[in-house]
A and B are shown apart, each in its own frame.
Chain A
Amino acid sequence: MLDWLAEQIILHWDILQYLIPAIPVTVLITICSFSLAMVLGLIIGVMRISSIKLLSNFASIYINVIRGIPLLVQIFFIYFGLGKFLNLDRFTAGVLAVGICYSAYLAEIFRSGINAIARGQHEAAQALGMTRFQTLRHVIIPQSLRIVIPPIANEFIASLKDSSLVSIIGLREITRAGREYYSQYFVDFQTWVMVALIYLIMTLTLSRIVKYLERIYAVEGFGSKTR
């Protein structure tokens, strides 16, 4: 019994040793693709509410097309499809695929965040002589950002989990490392328990951080809307 336990601990430790170098890769993919998603998402979200029909239609099509295709298919398309012409390496392709996919979801979040700001704010800004762009940049978006922090944080956590899909194109992140370990030593149950645990620890830690951030961001003057 004790022997078995010792054996298991050594095995899990061994698996962990194997997986640890892949953790930074997962983190890097997530951070890079999510940064891309934030920038793209904000641009598309603002375009979506533009009064210029061409822009809002483009944004609307972008959002619907991207959200209507499974991420896995997008990864294949970008790595094998576009990658051929553009000569994309695995990392770039993976980051692009996850980034673009999440930008569509973030665009919708940004759009609803912008729409949640009362009309009076636009009017007050305009009455002070601000242009539409200045109004967005200095009055509306700073307020929207605080509204959208919780849903964006959820998307971030989701994108961390979805980054496991890029293992399919051979990027050696956590999931890929798990598969390699398995195919070398044929230990399945323990390997996937360890992989799952690593993801779980990361996502739970992130949720904690988000809760904390939400608390500090609940600065005075916020949450309670102007009457």
Chain B
Amino acid sequence: MIIKVKDLVCKFGDICALDGISLDVKKGEVVVIIGPSGSGKSTLLRCLNALESFESGEVTIDGTKVVKENKSVHKIRLEVGMVFQQFNLFPHLTVIENIMLAQRIVRKRSAEISRQKGMELLGLVDLSDKIDAYPAQLSGGQKQRVAIARALAMDPMIMLFDEVTSALDPEMVGEVLEVINKLADKGITMLIASHEIGFAREVAHRIIFIEDGKIVEDGPPSVILDNPKQQRTKDFLSKVL
């Protein structure tokens, strides 16, 4: 198991964002997390790379325990790439510089190797012609593909995607999902919070439905999407489909 989550509880004041989540993910598994807004999808992903600290429970990434106030955090973040809804590209850097920065200062790679890696990944996300553009010159879909390339450049074992298409115009959703699909084919372990049910069916090995910080149902797409056992899953799906 590359990811182990046990009885994870995360609170913001009185709000219990995660209320006892337990979850194991195998290497190479693609897990799509669905659930209503505010159910705790983002918080769960953020706990996995220590962007959020948690109340109790245990998170283990490839055998290393995640503790927020700890030196090991940087090591864990190297293994866990994250892509955000709002892209969060560095606006003062060009596309290639965005992809090179952390390779240089965190992975300590040479400029040459970082650039080469960057070009390779820009090829993968089909943006080879934009290497010297600034983020503001890109469309939303292009920005998100750069953000994916930037995370991949660190060679993470695990990729987290937090509603990466929610801020996009509908016509750009496809190009981003296509990239994620390619990654799934490469066997990268992925956790994807998404509202795109059609995409989930296509890419997921496993779907987890969460509500109010709890896992309601967990299983292969054919079960969760077509024959859910829980009434709450059925209700949610009837709303989004």
Contact = CB atoms under 8 A, between A and B. Distances in A.
Interface of A: 118, 120-121, 123-131, 134, 138-139, 142-143, 146, 219-222, 224-227
Given A128-B101, A128-B102, A220-B134, 7 more contacts: A128-B77, A128-B106, A130-B106, A142-B92, A143-B92, A226-B135, A227-B140
B163 to A, nearest CB: 13
B10 interface: no
Interface of B: 49, 51, 74, 77-78, 80-82, 84, 86-92, 94, 101-102, 105-107, 134-137, 140, 143, 147, 150-151, 154, 167
A134 B81 contact: no
A13 B176 CA distance: 71
Contacts of B74: 129, 131
B151 A127 contact: yes
Contacts, number: 87
B77 A121 contact: no
Nearest to A143: B92
Given A124-B84, A126-B51, A126-B77, A224 B136 contact: yes
A6 B49 CA distance: 79
A129 B78 contact: yes
B91 A127 contact: no
B88 A120 contact: yes
Given A120-B84, A146-B92, A226 B106 contact: no
A214 to B, nearest CB: 16
A220 B140 CA distance: 16
